[in-house]
Amino acid sequence: MRLRVLFLCFAISLPAVAAPLAVPDQGPALRIQGSNTIGAALGPALVKGLMEHQGLQGVHSEPGDGANEQRVVGKTRQGKTVTIEVAAHGSSTGFAALKNNRADLAAASRPIKDSELIDLESLGDQKSPEAEQVIAIDGLAIILNPRNPLNTLNTEQLAQIFNGEVSTWEALGGIGGAIHVYARDDQSGTYDTFKELVLSRRGKPLAGTAQRFESSEALSDAVSHDPQGIGFIGLPYVRQAKAVAIVDGDSQPMLPLTSLIATEDYPLSRRLFFYLPPSSRNPWAKALVDFTQGSKGQTIVAANGFIAQQVQAIGVAPRPSMPDDYQALARDAQRLTVNFRFEEGSASLDNKARQDLQRVVAYIRSHGKLDKQVTLVGFGDAKNDPQRAALLSKLRAMAVRRELVKSGVVPRDIRGFGAQMPVAANTADEGRIKNRRVEVWVY
């Protein structure tokens, strides 16, 4: 799908800080543990932004006590030192650190697991809207050596490659002999996401011969220097390697483009999270979450190579494969870079959708489109009865309409396209959930 970005942006404005945050007499003001994807650069950058927003001076990073650990340090106007610690050893370590009181905030590049939810019950519901905070969107890029002639792979092929069933490039129509597989380590949320989206869905483990890396940069550089290499990586770490287009089920081939990742249509897109326990009494943790969700924080997200949750209007080029009504919509309107999605097995908006609802309303209001300038388009997963799929897709659009009306937005139209135009395979729950979406179009 070719998209024309019109650069009409809006992000939730961060309210002015009423008063400086209290500084502890000893120890760090905040301890963050978890995802390497977040903790390597994005997390420290957001921390620096918060500290500067708080008026601290001389804000800088120092090496921590171990590998992949940092301290961000600044001074108050009274000369008192403020330290925030960031440890980046993988998403699972963040939840373990919350449980053991070694962290105030967990950074994760995957959703919290049911087993982790149970482990952290004493700290409150980590799936509540206040606790589970989507801070950015990332795309897992499948990377090859730049000299590899292949440009497209499907998710079934990826599973076979990384499981070791397909072991030569010739079996894929390429050249180069044996395939060398590179992967992140077991503690990595990047690996968890790849395992969930590609391997586990097909009941396949990672090949024992895969070379494993804790560092995203090191993995990417290894692939870019190996003509027979293939790996998966977070979008900011493609570096000198070559990203290929991915197909999932009946979806169109999609490169990890900003616009396709922002809407989460790209098959290997994922959400990045902060988890703030409801029981937390640390004001710095809440302040960092609020700062990150605001316009300044989301600007830092984009500057670090991830996809900010700012709302943009994009032009979509009509394609013959699109339904006629959808082609007409693409000719007359622009699509917002938001897909509303729903909690599993529910008609309720998920936590990201609740956050995005505020952003969309603010965008619509600021651009004077409150009165019949918005069309909502629902999609769903395939059903035995196509009419039922069409009805359910329209009901999802109606659910979003109800929320918008509460905020003074009067949509022009709602439409349901059933199981048409899938963005993921319907053979697994993850794909079906992704296909159950509502798009927002503005005139």
Query: pLDDT tens digits for 119-146?
Result: 999 999 999 999 999 999 988 999 999 9
From the number of C-beta atoms within 10 Å of its C-beta (0-12, 13-18, 19+), residue 28 rates as middle
Q: Are 34 and 51 within one domain?
A: yes
- Asked if pLDDT for residue 86 goes beyond 50, the answer is yes
Angle between the N-to-C axes of helices 295-303 and 283-293, in degrees from 0 to 180, rounded to the nearest 10: 70
At residue 19 the predicted structure's pLDDT band, cuts being 50, 70 and 90, is confident
- C-alpha pair distances (Å), 133 with each of 12, 24, 128, 175, 347: 14, 25, 9, 44, 20
- Asked if pLDDT for residue 384 goes beyond 80, the answer is no
Evaluate whether residue 4 is within a structural domain.
no
Average pLDDT, the chain: 92
The mean per-residue pLDDT over the stretch 370-380 comes to 96
Q: Are 212 and 232 within one domain?
A: yes
Maximum Cα–Cα distance for the chain, whole Å?
Answer: 69
Q: Are 219 and 341 within one domain?
A: no
Evaluate whether residue 290 is within a structural domain.
yes
Q: Are 32 and 87 within one domain?
A: yes
Amino acid, res. 210: A
Q: Are 315 and 435 within one domain?
A: yes
Closest residue by Cα to residue 141 from 126, 123, 130, 153: 153
* Percent with pLDDT over 70 in the chain: 95
Evaluate whether residue 266 is within a structural domain.
no
- C-alpha pair distances (Å), 40 with each of 32, 35, 44, 236: 12, 8, 7, 11
CA–CA distance, 183 with 284 (Å, rounded to integer): 34
Q: Are 42 and 113 within one domain?
A: yes
- Asked if pLDDT for residue 18 goes beyond 90, the answer is no
CA–CA distance, 15 with 20 (Å, rounded to integer): 13
Q: Are 21 and 47 within one domain?
A: yes
DSSP element (H, E) containing 157 = helix 155-163
Q: CATH number, domain at 102?
A: 3.40.190.10
CB of 42 closer than 8 Å to CB of 138: no
CA–CA distance, 234 with 143 (Å, rounded to integer): 10
pLDDT of residue 399: 94
- Which tops the pLDDT comparison, 343 or 70? 70
* 3-state SS class at 32: strand
Query: pLDDT tens digits for 248-305?
Result: 988 889 999 888 999 999 999 989 999 999 999 999 999 999 999 999 999 999 999 8
- Asked if pLDDT for residue 9 goes beyond 80, the answer is no
- C-alpha pair distances (Å), 305 with each of 34, 185, 228, 236, 257: 19, 22, 27, 5, 12
- Which tops the pLDDT comparison, 430 or 415? 415
Mean pLDDT is lowest, of 3-12, 164-173, 295-304, 423-432, for 3-12
Evaluate whether residue 1 is within a structural domain.
no
Q: Are 249 and 158 within one domain?
A: yes
Q: Are 224 and 188 within one domain?
A: yes
Evaluate whether residue 264 is within a structural domain.
no
Structural domain range at position 298:
10-136+271-303
Closest residue by Cα to residue 254 from 381, 379, 419, 423: 423
- Asked if pLDDT for residue 193 goes beyond 90, the answer is no
Evaluate whether residue 83 is within a structural domain.
yes
Strands 57-63 and 69-75: antiparallel
CA dihedral 200, 133, 85, 52 (to 10 degrees): 140
Q: CATH number, domain at 424?
A: 3.30.1330.60
As for how many domains the chain has, the answer is 3
DSSP element (H, E) containing 291 = helix 283-293
Query: How many CB atoms are closer than 10 A to CB 370?
Result: 16
Evaluate whether residue 211 is within a structural domain.
yes
- Asked if pLDDT for residue 1 goes beyond 60, the answer is no
- Asked if pLDDT for residue 348 goes beyond 90, the answer is no
CA–CA distance, 291 with 49 (Å, rounded to integer): 8
pLDDT of residue 3: 38
DSSP string, 209-260: T-EEES-HHHHHHHHHT-TTEEEEEEGGG-TTSEE-EEE-TTPPPB---HHH
DSSP element (H, E) containing 182 = strand 180-184
Q: Are 437 and 317 within one domain?
A: yes
Evaluate whether residue 15 is within a structural domain.
yes
Entry pTM: 0.83
Closest residue by Cα to residue 220 from 194, 193, 239: 239
Query: pLDDT tens digits for 201-232?
Result: 889 999 999 999 999 999 999 999 999 999 99
At residue 345 the predicted structure's pLDDT band, cuts being 50, 70 and 90, is low
At residue 239 the predicted structure's pLDDT band, cuts being 50, 70 and 90, is very high
Q: Are 148 and 126 within one domain?
A: no
* 3-state SS class at 365: helix
Q: Are 248 and 280 within one domain?
A: no
